[in-house]
Structures are given as C-alpha cells and as structure tokens.
C-alpha cells in the first residue's frame, strides 16, 4: 500500500488548489470532511419524503436504493476519514479491503451521481422546468462531488478491481431504480423521457468506471 501522509503546512503557501500540498493539508481535509458530512445529512433530508413514500407504498428494502447522491457522498466522506487517519484501516488484509471498497464506492458513485444530477436539472430547465435557487445550489454541490472525487483518487489505495465492484453496485442500483420506479423524483417535464434517462443513467455508470480507471492509471504514472 502506498504510504500516505497528510501535510502540516501553511495553506496560504499552497499556490495551486489541486496540488498535493494543498489537498493533503489537514486543515483542507477537515474542512472537506465537515462540508461533505453536512451535505450528506442534507441530502438524506432532501430525499426524506421520497424515502417515506417508498416505505409506505412499496417494499421497505427498496428504500436503500432511493437516496443515490447522499449515499455516494457518505462513502466519500468516510474515505476522507481514511486520509485523515490512515491507521484506521490497519495493516491487515481485511482492513485494507474494507477501505478499498469504501474508497472505490466513494469515487465511482460520486462521479456518476454528481454528473447525473446536474444533467437532469439542466435537461428539465431546457424543457421548461422553472429553476429555483435550490436547483443552482444542487448544481454547484453535485459538480463539487464529482470534481473532488476525481481529485482525490491519486491519494487512495483502491485499484481497478474494487472500482469494477463499485460499477456492479451502480448497475444493481440502476436496475432496481427503473424496475421498481424508485429512481430520484424527476421534473414533470422529463416524465416522457424516462426510457432515454434510464439508458443515459446506466451508460453513465460505465462512463464513471472508465474515468476512474483512467485516473488510477494516471496515479500510477
């Protein structure tokens, strides 16, 4: 496992916000951890009505597949803990495997749902859905999800196989979503585009894996 050490430097001295010195600074990591934690909690609150509706009208087990973005954010938030406290995973095989699975899920799902949410909001707006300030807030936050996931791949320990397992989870989630209609509620103007959205969603799952694999290859270089 590559050794990872967080940096204790003056943040003001870091010129580039995507540099190692900046991203691995403990102040930055703690700030991202707090922001992602709050965003995750807000995300589950945002999905609260749909989760309650799913439990009341469908099988309770399906509720797991409803809050896509918050769950992705949760995995990435846990991944930040491993960067802050590398010894959490220990040095054994089991600990490293658990860490790798969480990191892979955090990266692949954050890329997928970050892009997906922005695309759905913009598609709805293009077809006449009235965008409110909440929509623009969601656009910024979901772009942040995808961007930060791609930035931090190089500091994580998971490899291509774990990323592939994350894809399998995404495809399972997609299948459940569009078989039992527990996908995130869409703007009314997109209801007639459900078939195209399903195809786009599953294709985006594969695309997110390919992006992650490319980033892993860049990490090794």
pLDDT at 14: 39
Question: Could you tell me if residue 201 is inside a domain?
Answer: yes
Chain segment 46-76, per-residue pLDDT in tens: 999 999 999 999 999 999 999 999 999 999 9
Q: Is residue 2 part of a domain?
A: no
Whether 17 maps to a domain, the answer reads yes
What does the pLDDT average to over 87-104?
Answer: 87
Whether 170 is in a domain gets the answer yes
Q: Is residue 5 part of a domain?
A: no
Give the whole-angstrom CA distance, residue 31 versus residue 135: 24
Residue 161 is assigned to a structural domain of this protein: yes
The boundaries of the domain holding residue 142 are 11-220
Task: Judge residue 116's burial from the number of C-beta atoms within 10 Å of its C-beta, 0-12 exposed, 13-18 middle, 19 or more buried.
Answer: buried
Q: In 3-state terms, what secondary structure has residue 7? A: strand
Q: What is the largest CA-CA distance in the chain?
A: 55
Give the three-state DSSP class for 25.
Answer: strand
Number of domains the chain is built from: 1
pLDDT at position 3 is 52
Phi, psi at 25, each rounded to 5°:
-65, 135
pLDDT at position 4: 54
- Residues 175-213 have pLDDT tens digits of 999 999 999 999 999 999 999 999 999 999 999 999 999
Q: Is residue 38 part of a domain?
A: yes
Q: What is the pLDDT of residues 73-88, one digit of tens each?
A: 999 999 999 999 988 8
Question: pLDDT band at 141, cuts 50/70/90?
Answer: very high
Question: What is the pTM assigned to this prediction?
Answer: 0.90
Q: Which of the pair, 218 or 33, is modelled with greater confidence?
A: 33
Within a domain: residue 146? Answer: yes
Cα–Cα distance for residue pair 183/205, rounded to 1 Å: 14
């Amino acid at each position: 496992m590559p050794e990872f050490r967080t940096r204790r430097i003056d943040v003001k001295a870091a010129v580039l916000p995507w540099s190692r010195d900046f991203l691995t600074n403990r102040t930055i990591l703690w700030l991202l951890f707090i922001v992602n934690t709050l965003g995750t909690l807000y995300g589950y609150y945002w999905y609260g009505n749909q989760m309650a509706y799913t439990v009341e009208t469908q099988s309770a087990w399906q509720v797991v597949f409803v809050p896509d973005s918050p769950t992705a954010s949760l995995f990435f938030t846990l991944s930040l803990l491993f960067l802050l406290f590398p010894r959490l995973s220990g040095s054994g095989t089991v600990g490293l495997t658990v860490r790798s699975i969480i990191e892979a899920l955090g990266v692949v799902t954050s890329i997928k749902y970050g892009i997906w949410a922005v695309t759905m909001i913009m598609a709805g707006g293009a077809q006449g859905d009235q965008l409110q300030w909440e929509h623009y807030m969601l656009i910024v936050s979901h772009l942040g999800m995808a961007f930060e996931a791609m930035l931090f791949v190089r500091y994580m320990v998971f490899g291509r196989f774990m990323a592939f397992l994350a894809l399998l989870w995404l495809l399972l989630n997609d299948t459940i979503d569009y078989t039992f209609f527990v996908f995130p509620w869409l703007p009314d103007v997109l209801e007639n585009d459900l078939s195209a959205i399903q195809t786009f969603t599953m294709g985006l799952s594969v695309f997110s894996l390919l992006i992650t694999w490319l980033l892993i290859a860049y990490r090794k270089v």
